[in-house]
């Protein structure tokens, strides 16, 4: 407002009435805005961002806060920023992913894997049920019985013997159940089968047993025999030579030749799934090598998937051999908890040495990579009690 | 006298030399002339005339899934066609099993097997593969053999109640395993001599190009399909259209790779839906066509 009139002239120089000093100069815009005096007057006030009154108040407040907290104030800010970034970049998406996974696991899909006819193959038994006599607490007199599930042995006979000693295996009271892949890779596959036969152990078929059995059938079926060691390799025509190396299963065939007829028969009689029955304290139990798809009866489970799955796609329920989708046991556990307690099933399995010992309420993963220098693991199930015991292995890789 | 014998001897030797030296021209294909008495077709509809010179198998002039040396028209009734297709598959699988040639289902037929062990109603052909040793075995011992089956001929007409004949024909170019030979991607055919329907047989070969680069365990066909050896072998024994059949080791994985997850979960395809009660593909009744 001060700039809207002219400064008053020297009082002494004039006696004319004040009105006479009034001019129309104020109409000139330049003069109006460019008042140096005004600017000079206000610059001092504009020097500080915060009004001195507020500044004083801030200092008073600051003095009340302990020195240590003041000192760490900067660090607190940094931590806050870090946690915010972590949430946005990592935790948030993961939380979202988990929520999405749970939603998918709960979803009742209409068009889902497993509506086709159940596949049957020769020399393959889908399902067997364990003799009730062997189940702990099944009836009076067998309360002291134990079931000993053993993960992928892969021909490590010495380690298997160590493990049996460690669990104090008693032939009269205990029953052995192998979760598949007893053979291949390791040093003494025939020895492991002999031991299993000696104790009338139960078993399920693993992917390695499957390859050996299929390979034996293939060798038996061919119209031209495989070249024997005495035969002159130069005598053979190209195609025989190719075939003898073909199918990439030379190792498998070599292993198959080490096994006796009785041992092969033992392997052939291992079902894909073994129904253990109701164990006091644990409930219904079953054994399979790879895994199971929730919502499909044991009789209808796909043979290949039983032996080979590691994860499962939640949109289609198609299992995968690798870890690219949701772990099958995660889906299995989630679905079991939704079922009526009487319908729930605990699965003991092997095959997944990458995840190793993996004990959950309704799934017990026992493959701890013995043949690669890991451990050999047993799950001991007694009436109302279960425990996991391992022994170390040599590396046979 | 001696001179005469010498001259005769010389002539004989010279003649034999001459005949050995000049290359004999082998006829490479079985045209309609050479099949006289085996076919009821009156004219040649093989489509040979329009094909490039190096192509061994020909598709008929009226439909690519018929052999024009044995038929003159398509089977118009889809249910009759399907019966013939089923017999074709059954006779092929039985024959291969009997003679010990290794063969297995692939592609659409494998998907049909996966759903209900049958040919899918809308599938127009049957896909099989054989091993390298098997194709050599078939070429050496069974090429151009006619196989007779005492199955009732479904088609009407005289002489049809006497059973059915099938021809196994091997493409001599099977020895050339290169994908550059794109005219001969089919290594053999199993041909219904009554209807002209056939099964294309392709050989699964070791991928020698990959082996040269030091990569082993890979297989290929001349039609450029590629597979891992461990996914195909060892084969499994199952049933297809009521007869024993071989199935590749990792059947689900192969199907998912080729057709996607949908093919294993969707129950509606090509105006058919899958009924789980009888495990059957049933045509949609309300379909517009």
Predicted confidence at residue B18, as pLDDT, reads 57
Max intra-chain CA distance, chain B: 96
Query: Contact A316/B265, CB-based, under 8 Å?
Result: yes
Question: Distance from A214 to chain B by nearest Cα, in Å?
Answer: 6
- Which of A245 and A274 is assigned the larger pLDDT? A274
pLDDT at res. A18 = 80
Q: What is the pLDDT of residues B31-50, one digit of tens each?
A: 777 777 777 777 777 777 77
CB contact under 8 A, A302 and B230: no
Q: Which long-range contacts (CB under 8 A, 24 or more apart) does A134-143 make?
A: A134/A175, A135/A276, A135/A277, A135/A278, A135/A279, A136/A279, A136/A280, A136/A381, A136/A382, A136/A383, A137/A279, A137/A280, A137/A281, A137/A383, A137/A384, A138/A277, A138/A278, A143/A383
More confident of the two residues A199 and B71:
A199
Among the partner-chain residues A246, A305, A315, the one whose CB lies closest to the CB of B206 is: A246
**pLDDT tens for each residue of A138-177:** 777 778 899 999 999 999 999 999 999 999 999 999 999 9
pLDDT digits (tens, 9 = 90+) for A87-146: 988 888 889 988 999 999 988 888 888 889 888 898 899 999 999 989 988 777 778 899
- Cα distance from A108 to chain B (closest Cα, Å)? 14
Interchain proximity B265–A113, CB inside 8 Å: yes
Higher pLDDT, A43 or A212: A212
Question: Which structure tokens are listed for A312?
Answer: 């499962």
- Asked if B112 contacts B89 with a C-beta cutoff of 8 angstroms, the reply is no
Judge whether A310 and A324 are in contact, CB under 8 Å: no
Q: What is the 3-state secondary structure (H, E, C) of A117-144?
A: CCCCCCCCCCEEECCHHHCCCCCCCCCC
Alpha helices in chain B (DSSP H): 2-21, 78-99, 107-116, 132-141, 208-212, 229-232, 251-259, 262-265
Q: Report d(CA A288, CA A348) in Å as an integer.
A: 7
Q: Is the pLDDT of residue A347 over 70?
A: yes
Closest of A132, A145, A203 to residue A174, by C-alpha: A145
Give the rounded percent of residues in chain A with a pLDDT score beyond 90.
Answer: 55
The pLDDT value given to residue A296: 93
Mean pLDDT, residues A49-65 taken together: 82
Task: Reply yes or no on whether the pLDDT at A232 is more than 50.
Answer: no
Place of tokens 């002489």: B159
Rounded mean pLDDT of chain A? Answer: 84
B100:A317 CB<8 A: no
DSSP letter string, A20-63: GG--SGGG-HHHHH--HHHHHHHHHHHTSSS-HHHHHHHHHHHH
pLDDT value at residue A355: 93
Of B237, B247, B261, the CB nearest to A316: B261
Q: Which residues pair with B200 in a beta bridge?
A: B127, B189
d(CA A297, CA A293): 9
Greater pLDDT, B90 or B35: B90
User: In sequence order, what are the residues at sequence separation of 6 or more whose Cβ sits closer than 8 angstroms to the Cβ of residue A56?
Assistant: none
Which tens digits make up the pLDDT trace of B148-164?
998 765 555 445 567 88
Give the residue-averaged pLDDT of B113-141: 93
Query: What is the gyration radius of the CA atoms in chain B, in angstroms?
Result: 23
The answer to whether A368 touches A150, Cβ cutoff 8 Å, is: no
Do B132 and A246 lie within an 8 Å CB cutoff? Answer: yes
Of A217, A239, A304, the CB nearest to B252: A304
| Confidence check: pLDDT of A305 > 90 | yes
Give the nearest partner residue to A117 out of B115, B236, B247, using CB atoms.
B115
Question: Cα B234 vs. chain centroid, distance in angstroms?
Answer: 22
Beta bridge partners of B128: B105, B201
Q: Is B43 helix (H, G, I), strand (E, B) or coil?
A: coil
pLDDT of residue B151: 78
The CATH H-level superfamily of A127-206+270-392 is Metallo-dependent phosphatases (3.60.21.10)
Closest CA to A319 of A335, A303, A334, A333: A303
CA distances from A113 to A16, A296, B272 (A): 108, 10, 18
Confidence of residue B223 (pLDDT cuts 50, 70, 90): confident
pLDDT of A206 > 90? The answer is yes
| pLDDT tier, A235 (very low <50, low <70, confident <90, very high otherwise) | very low
Residue A281 has pLDDT above 80, yes or no: yes
Residue A340 has a pLDDT of 93
Q: HSE (CB half, 13 Å, CA atoms) of A331? A: 26
Residue A198 scores a pLDDT above 50: yes
How much is the pLDDT for B50? Answer: 77
Return the higher-pLDDT residue of A30 and B53: B53
Residue A197 corresponds to which tokens in the numbers above? Answer: 């036969």
What pairs with residue B269 in β-bridges?
B272
Residues of A in contact with B254 (CB under 8 A): none
The residue whose two tokens read 């990569």 is B215
CB contact under 8 A, B229 and A247: yes
Residues 6+ apart with CB under 8 A from B203: B129, B130, B131, B132, B134, B135, B174, B177, B187, B221, B222
Q: Is the pLDDT of residue B111 over 80?
A: yes
Kindly indicate the confidence band of residue A276, based on its pLDDT and cuts at 50, 70 and 90: very high
B289 confidence band (pLDDT: 50, 70, 90): very low
Q: Is the pLDDT of residue B181 over 70?
A: yes
- Residue-range domains of chain B with CATH: 77-278 (3.30.460)
Percent of chain A with pLDDT over 70: 83
What integer is the mean pLDDT of B175-183?
86
CB-nearest to B133 from A115, A221, A243 is: A243
Domain boundaries, chain A: 51-107, 127-206+270-392
Q: Is B266 helix (H, G, I), strand (E, B) or coil?
A: coil
Which chain B residues are Cβ-neighbours of A302 within 8 angstroms? 252
**The predicted structure's pLDDT at residue A228:** 43
Q: How confident is the model at residue A241 (pLDDT cuts 50, 70, 90)?
A: very low
B101 or B17, higher pLDDT: B101
Which helix (H) or strand (E) covers residue B170, if one does?
Answer: strand B164-170
* pLDDT band, residue A26 (cuts 50/70/90): low
Residue B205, min C-alpha distance to chain A (Å)? 10
Cross-sheet strand order for the sheet of A202-203: A202-203, A174-178, A146-150, A375-382, A385-392
Cβ contact A152:A367 at 8 Å: yes
Burial class (CB in 10 A: 0-12, 13-18, 19+), B266: middle
Predicted local confidence at residue B27, as pLDDT: 60
Least confident of B58-67, B152-161, B238-247: B152-161
Collapsing DSSP states into helix, strand and coil, what is residue B16?
Answer: helix
Grade residue A234 by pLDDT with cuts at 50, 70 and 90: very low
Q: CA of B236 to nearest chain A CA: how many angstroms apart?
A: 7
**What's the whole-number mean pLDDT along residues B103-130?**
94
- Report residue A120 as tokens: 């049957």
The CA-based dihedral angle spanning residues A303, A306, A311, A315, taken in that order and rounded to the nearest 10 degrees: 50
> Does the pLDDT value for residue A346 go beyond 80?
yes
Q: What pLDDT, on the 0 to 100 scale, is given for residue B215? A: 84
Output the pLDDT for position A217: 83
Q: What is the mean pLDDT of residues B58-71?
A: 87
> How many contacts does A have with B, using Cβ atoms within 8 A?
102
**Residue B61: band (very low, low, confident or very high) from pLDDT cuts 50, 70, 90:** confident
pLDDT at site A19: 80
| Per-residue pLDDT at A316 | 92
Does pLDDT of A227 surpass 50? no
């Amino acid at each position: 407002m001060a700039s809207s009139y002219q400064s008053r002239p020297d009082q002494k120089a004039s006696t004319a009435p004040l009105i006479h000093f009034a001019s129309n100069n104020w109409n000139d815009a330049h003069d109006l805005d460019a008042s140096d005096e005004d600017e000079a007057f206000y610059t001092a006030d504009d020097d500080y961002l915060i009004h001195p009154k507020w500044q004083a108040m801030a200092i008073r407040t600051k003095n009340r806060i302990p020195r240590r907290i003041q000192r760490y104030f900067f660090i607190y800010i940094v931590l806050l920023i870090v946690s915010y970034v972590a949430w946005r970049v990592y935790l948030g998406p993961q939380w979202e992913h988990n929520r999405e996974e749970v939603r998918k696991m709960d979803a009742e899909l209409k068009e889902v894997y497993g509506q086709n006819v159940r596949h049957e193959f020769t020399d393959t038994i889908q399902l067997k049920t364990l003799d009730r006599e062997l189940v702990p607490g099944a009836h009076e007199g067998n309360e002291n019985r134990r079931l000993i599930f053993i993960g992928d042995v892969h021909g490590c006979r010495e380690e298997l013997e160590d493990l049996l000693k460690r669990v104090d295996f008693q032939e009269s009271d205990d029953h052995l159940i192998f979760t598949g892949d007893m053979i291949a890779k390791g040093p003494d596959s025939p020895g492991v089968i002999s031991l299993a036969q000696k104790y009338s152990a139960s078993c399920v078929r693993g992917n390695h047993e499957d390859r050996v059995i299929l390979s034996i059938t293939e060798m038996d079926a061919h119209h031209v025999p495989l070249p024997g060691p005495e035969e002159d390799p130069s005598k053979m025509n190209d195609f025989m030579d190719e075939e003898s190396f073909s199918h990439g299963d030379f190792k498998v065939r070599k292993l198959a030749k080490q096994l006796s007829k009785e041992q092969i028969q033992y392997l052939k009689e291992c079902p894909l799934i073994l129904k253990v029955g109701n164990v006091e304290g644990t409930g219904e139990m079953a054994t399979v090598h790879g895994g199971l798809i929730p919502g499909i009866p044991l009789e209808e489970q796909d043979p290949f998937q039983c032996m080979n799955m590691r994860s499962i796609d939640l949109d289609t329920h198609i299992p995968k051999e690798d870890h690219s989708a949701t772990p099958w046991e995660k889906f299995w556990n989630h679905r079991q908890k939704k079922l009526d307690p009487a319908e729930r099933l605990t699965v003991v399995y092997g095959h997944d040495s990458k995840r190793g010992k993996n004990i959950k309420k309704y799934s017990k993963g026992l493959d701890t990579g013995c043949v690669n220098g890991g451990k050999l693991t047993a799950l001991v199930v007694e009436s109302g009690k279960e425990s996991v015991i391992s022994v170390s292995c040599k590396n046979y890789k | 006298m001696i001179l005469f014998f010498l001259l005769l001897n010389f002539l004989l030797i010279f003649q034999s030399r001459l005949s050995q030296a000049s290359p004999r021209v082998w006829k490479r294909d079985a045209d309609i002339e050479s099949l006289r008495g085996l076919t009821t077709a009156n004219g040649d509809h093989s489509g040979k005339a329009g094909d490039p010179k190096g192509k061994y198998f020909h598709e008929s002039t009226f439909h690519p899934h018929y052999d024009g040396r044995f038929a003159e028209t398509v089977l118009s009734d889809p249910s009759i066609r399907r019966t013939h297709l089923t017999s074709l598959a059954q006779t092929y699988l039985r024959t291969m099993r009997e003679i010990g040639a290794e063969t297995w289902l692939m592609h659409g037929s494998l998907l049909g097997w996966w759903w209900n062990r049958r040919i899918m109603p809308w599938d127009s052909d049957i896909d099989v593969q054989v091993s390298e040793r098997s194709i050599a075995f078939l070429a050496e011992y069974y090429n151009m053999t006619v196989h007779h089956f005492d199955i009732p001929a479904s088609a009407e007409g005289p002489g049809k109640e006497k059973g059915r004949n099938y021809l196994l024909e091997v493409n001599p170019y099977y020895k050339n395993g290169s994908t550059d030979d794109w005219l001969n991607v089919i290594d053999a055919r199993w041909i219904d001599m009554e209807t002209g329907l056939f099964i294309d047989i392709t050989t699964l070969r070791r991928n020698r190009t990959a082996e040269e680069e030091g990569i082993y365990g890979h297989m290929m066909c001349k039609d450029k399909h590629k597979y891992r050896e461990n996914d195909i072998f060892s084969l499994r024994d199952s049933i297809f259209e009521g007869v024993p059949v071989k199935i590749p080791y990792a059947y689900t994985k192969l199907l998912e790779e080729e057709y996607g997850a949908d093919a294993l979960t969707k129950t509606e395809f090509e105006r058919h839906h899958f009924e789980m009660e009888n495990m059957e593909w049933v045509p949609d009744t309300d379909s517009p066509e």
